[in-house]
């Protein structure tokens, strides 16, 4: 049924143009490869090794310390932590995805 009478069109446009801010996805949702020679699978494999190191109870709890600190503490206690963990962390220096434990940045845990 067609509308009877004139319908005034309500103007809902914004009073000023709002800038569009593109937010970066948090770093733990996707792996960041600074090294272009590595494939995504290789990066995932490295991160998996690091996560297994975090979850290994033999070296103590992982929260509250960086991975390197925890590795060095395990070394000092004579627990022979895997050397590849240290190599991976040192080669990706400054990247919190590698240097901090897997719960780092999770809200509600720390």
CA-closest candidate to residue 46, choices 89, 104, 81, 101? 89
- Give residues with Cβ within 8 angstroms of 21, minimum separation 6: none
Asked if 63 contacts 101 with a C-beta cutoff of 8 angstroms, the reply is: yes
Six-digit token string for 23: 């937010």
Shortest distance in whole angstroms from residue 87 CB to other proteins: 21
Binding string, residues 24-63; x marks residues near other proteins by CB under 8 A: ---------------------------------xx-xx-x
Specify the length of the chain in residues: 110
Task: Please identify which residue in 64, 83, 87, 90 interacts with other proteins, judged by CB under 8 A.
Answer: 64
**Residue 69 binds to other proteins (criterion: CB under 8 A):** yes
CB of 40 to other proteins, least distance (A): 27
Q: Which residues bind other proteins (CB under 8 A)?
A: 57-58, 60-61, 63-65, 69, 73, 77, 100, 104-105, 109-110
């Amino acid at each position: 049924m067609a509308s009877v009478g004139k319908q005034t069109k309500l103007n809902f446009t914004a009073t000023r143009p709002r800038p569009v801010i593109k937010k970066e996805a948090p770093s733990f949702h996707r792996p960041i490869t600074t090294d272009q020679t590595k494939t995504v699978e290789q990066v995932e494999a490295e991160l998996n090794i690091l996560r297994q190191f975090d979850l290994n109870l033999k070296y103590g709890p992982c929260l509250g310390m960086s991975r390197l600190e925890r590795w060095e503490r395990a070394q000092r206690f004579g627990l022979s932590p895997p050397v590849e963990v240290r190599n991976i962390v040192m080669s990706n220096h400054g990247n919190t995805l590698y240097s901090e434990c897997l719960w780092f940045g999770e809200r509600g845990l720390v």
